[in-house]
Structure 1
Amino acid sequence: MVRLASFYLAYYAVLGAFTPYWSLYLQSRGMTVAAISVLMSLWYATRILAPSIWTTLAARSPTPIRWLRGGCVLSVACFSAFLLRLDFTGLFIVMCVFCFAYNAVMPQFEAITMSHLDKRSDRYGHIRVWGSIGFITVVALYGWLIERLGVAWLPWLMLPLLAGLLVSSYSNRYAHQPEEAHHEGQEGFRARLKRPPVIAFFAAAFLAQISFGPYYTFFSIYLAEHGYSASTLGLFWSVGVLAEIGVFFLSSRIFLRWDAGKVMAIAMLSAALRWWITGLWPDSVPVMLLAQLTHALNFGAFFASAMQLLVRFFPGRMNGHGQGVFYGLSGVGGVAGALIAGQLWRLGGNAAFLVAGGFALVGGVIAWYWLVRRHQAAIHSVRVD
């Protein structure tokens, strides 16, 4: 479990530097808001194909772990190019390759983790929490370092974190991959994709990522426009992840009491409230801190419930493919969210967050109807029969 946790720790430590501060780094390189929205959208654009391609190639390989390690090697090698003085075209090319490689490895590693947990998938949060710990540590530390060294040092500060990820990839491997249960009327992977609850699940995930578009792309710029310092930005990001850590530690208890579909629906409805608060009261520190605390629900609980539902919908060997589709559709949503936010920013950051709340509300309603009400009705029907 320590080896699994080390990969999450390193992977999300990199994101702890990239997500809050990379847009500020691009801004320091003279990029406009429109250019930043395009470059940051590449993070999500590459998630459309990278996860499915990588998990498919890994599944067909006699030594799938090599694909995980190869992706980490490519990530480190490509990121090193950011040390050069690149114009928009150069940044675009390097961002494409780096984001593709980096997004490719996590869905495969999620399948590795599930192969170790097997029937104890409720313990996923106890391992995944180390990713949140890595994220919050780097967010807080790098906010302080950037204030003193300048945001131009960000690529140099991120390279050691990527090196740590590469080392961790060589210490991990698959457990024995369980076969799908053989039973009468078993459906294939494509048939499962056509199930209404599965379609609803992916639709909710898609809308969740759209709603996070303004947050992941412009939240730091949004706060800076309202007079917050870099260290305060780090505080806001850290508060959200601290709350998320608590949810991951409690995840096994949560899913023993509540169904994953209900947790996901509540998480998305809380996201709608969060974005509306962020758009309406950006100058109030207490209100913004309260909004960030809901990250425990709209990211932590959402992600943990998504992993539970993926195990339910795609057991055994199908889980890696399910992870690929989940990350891929999330990537499409992320691209749409980043680009929509970039266009709405012309009306002000407030407008972008208010619209994001609308997307989250629609996703929450879909999740509630198909993953809660219809699921409960199906269970009741089985009991009656």
Structure 2
Amino acid sequence: MSTHAPIPFLRLSGFYLAYYAALGAFTPFWNLFLKARGFDVAAISVLMSLWYATRIVAPSTWSWLAGRSPRPVTWLRLGCLLTLLTFAVFLLPLNLAAMFLAMSAFCFFYNAVMPQFEALTLSHLGGRSESYGRIRVWGSIGFIGVVLALGVLFDHVSVQWLPALMLPLYGALLASACANDYAPSANQPAEAASDGFGERLRQPGVLAFFVVALLMQVSFGPLYTFFSIYLEEHGYRAATLGLYWGLGVAVEIVMFYASARLLRRFGALALLLASLLAAALRWTLTGLWPGQPAILALAQILHALCFAAFFAASMQYLAVYFPGRHNGHAQGVFYGFSSGVGGVLGALGSGYAWQYGNGRLAFLLAAGVALVAALVAVIWLRPKRDRQQQRKQP
């Protein structure tokens, strides 16, 4: 693809808007929905871990199938269709076993599609991966709009209405998938996408990057699994929960807009380290002072670094280390290893910590994990080499 080819910003942004709008309903409120359905903390931690467990296999499986197809976008659209159909099952009353099966199926397909769409987006960006933030920011806008609206709504209606409210968002996701396609150069007959991939994956810097990504995701375990319950236990109402989640995503939007400039000025490694240190501080503040609204707000503001800066830097690393058709496979490994394995460890680990020391212990352990990730990055990621590789990117 020519580096001067127009980028379909509107169509690409629409998919992120729909996907993360649905996530804006799922992440803050699904644990409250499960609690309202009568499940205890142990059951909720297991059910929420399925969101991450399916990431171990779903992204790589779907990306592998798409990478060997002459029309890879077909797999994206099929995944979105199956996401819609499996989510509709939550409209029914389900016991624990049925909920386990339903969440396994839904989470598999929902997690399968985003890594493939990331590769689709990067196929349009080519050597302009720093422009990724301008597209991805619309996902944050969708997230914040939904989380604020539902936070207010659930002060007046039962959270058990959540599945019915979310279903149209998955319909919009399917419509957006049908409107998008890979850049023309990415729709050539499939080559052996694995050729040379293992060699790239075994490079020390690449391995260190994936370990850092895994540890960062582990540290997010208490936030994604129990944050809303944690605040509810400290007397916060649903609307206030929405405000705190929304605050984190609002600053995330600013960071995504600024990410291209920051990457050009400081490089991916500097943003990576800043995000890891910010995560350690964020989890410490959340664990020690949940009853202090101002401190909790500061902790949520750090989401700009913990998530947005980390994610933008990660996309830059993946674009450099795995160019071309390798990128789809790399996206699958990235999501499967970090969000999948790391997410399961974070969800289950925070569940155990919660049982033995409540939320405080869970968040303080998360801070320690983030510091270990920063240490790995300092020792094994090489700033000069990484900046040189980024400058060589076309």
- TM-score bracket, shorter-length normalisation: over 0.9
Which residue among 363, 376, 387 is the counterpart of 1:353? 363
Indicate whether 1:294 and 2:299 are aligned.
no
* 2:50–2:107 CA contact under 8 A, matched in 1: yes
The Cα offsets for residues 259-312 of structure 1, whole Å up to 9 and x where unpaired, read as: 101211110111011001100111000000001000000000000000000001
1:1-385 matches, within 5 Å, as 1-177=9-185, 188-330=196-338, 331-346=340-355, 347-373=357-383, 375=385
Structure 1 residue identity aligned to 2:147: V
* 2:269–2:383 CA contact under 8 A, matched in 1: no
Distance 2:383 2:316 in 1: 18
* 2:245–2:300 CA contact under 8 A, matched in 1: yes
Distance 1:224 1:16 in 2: 18
Q: CA deviation at 1:372?
A: 4.2
Q: CA deviation at 1:178?
A: 6.0
* 1:72–1:102 CA contact under 8 A, matched in 2: yes
Counterpart position of 1:383: none
Gaps spanning 5+ residues in structure 1: where?
A: 180-186, 381-385
The Cα offsets for residues 117-153 of structure 1, whole Å up to 9 and x where unpaired, read as: 0011000000000000000000000111112121010
Distance 2:106 2:236 in 1: 30
Distance 2:84 2:205 in 1: 38
Q: CA deviation at 1:199?
A: 0.5
RMSD: 1.4
Structure 1 residue identity aligned to 2:345: A
The Cα offsets for residues 204-263 of structure 1, whole Å up to 9 and x where unpaired, read as: 000001000000000000000100000000000000000000010111111110110121
Structure 2 residue identity aligned to 1:312: V
Q: CA deviation at 1:379?
A: 5.5
With structure 2 as the length reference, what TM-score do the two structures score? Answer: 0.92
3-state SS of the aligned residue for 1:177?
A: helix
The Cα offsets for residues 55-101 of structure 1, whole Å up to 9 and x where unpaired, read as: 00001111111100000000000000000000001100000000000
Distance 2:25 2:155 in 1: 13
Distance 1:66 1:360 in 2: 38
* 1:25–1:151 CA contact under 8 A, matched in 2: yes
Structure 1 residue identity aligned to 2:369: F
Gaps spanning 5+ residues in structure 2: where?
A: 1-8, 188-194, 390-394
Distance 1:30 1:78 in 2: 21
* 2:286–2:363 CA contact under 8 A, matched in 1: yes
* 1:146–1:230 CA contact under 8 A, matched in 2: yes
Distance 1:99 1:167 in 2: 19
* 1:177–1:317 CA contact under 8 A, matched in 2: no
Q: CA deviation at 1:374?
A: 6.5
3-state SS of the aligned residue for 1:62?
A: coil
Q: CA deviation at 1:315?
A: 0.7
With structure 1 as the length reference, what TM-score do the two structures score? Answer: 0.95
**Would you say how many aligned residue pairs link Structure 1 and Structure 2?**
372
Distance 1:302 1:241 in 2: 14
Q: CA deviation at 1:177?
A: 3.3
Q: CA deviation at 1:368?
A: 2.4
Q: Which runs of 4+ in 1 moved over 6 A?
A: none
Identity %: 57
